[in-house]
Amino acid sequence: MSSERSSVFDLSPAEKLRLVEDLWDDIAAHPDAVPVFGWQQRELESRKARLEAIPASAIGWEEIKRRVRENRAT
C-alpha cells in the first residue's frame, strides 16, 4: 500500500478540464447557493437600471464577441 497522496495537480490537462466541468455543472445546478457580494448586487442593479432607462445602450452578443476578439489581438 502506497502512502503517497494524490493531488489535483497530478492530473493530466484533460482530467483537470473534466474536473472543472464537473465542478461547474454542480455549482450551476444550485445557483441560489452561490454567494453574491453586496457590491456585485449593486453593480447588477445599476446596469439593469441603465439598460431600462436607455434600451438602445444594450450591446448584442455578437458585438461583445467581436470586441473581445479584437482585444485579444492587441
pLDDT band, very low/low/confident/very high, at 40 (cuts 50, 70, 90) = very high
Spans of all domains in the chain: 35-74
Query: Around Cβ 51, how many Cβ atoms within 10 Å?
Result: 13
Rounded distance, CA 16 to CA 8, Å? 7
Which segments of 9-60 does DSSP mark as H helices, in order? Answer: 13-28, 38-53
Q: 27 CB contacts (<8 Å, ≥6 apart)?
A: 33, 34
User: Is this prediction's pTM over 0.75?
Assistant: no
Per-residue model confidence as pLDDT tens digits over 1-36: 455 778 999 999 999 999 999 999 999 999 999 999
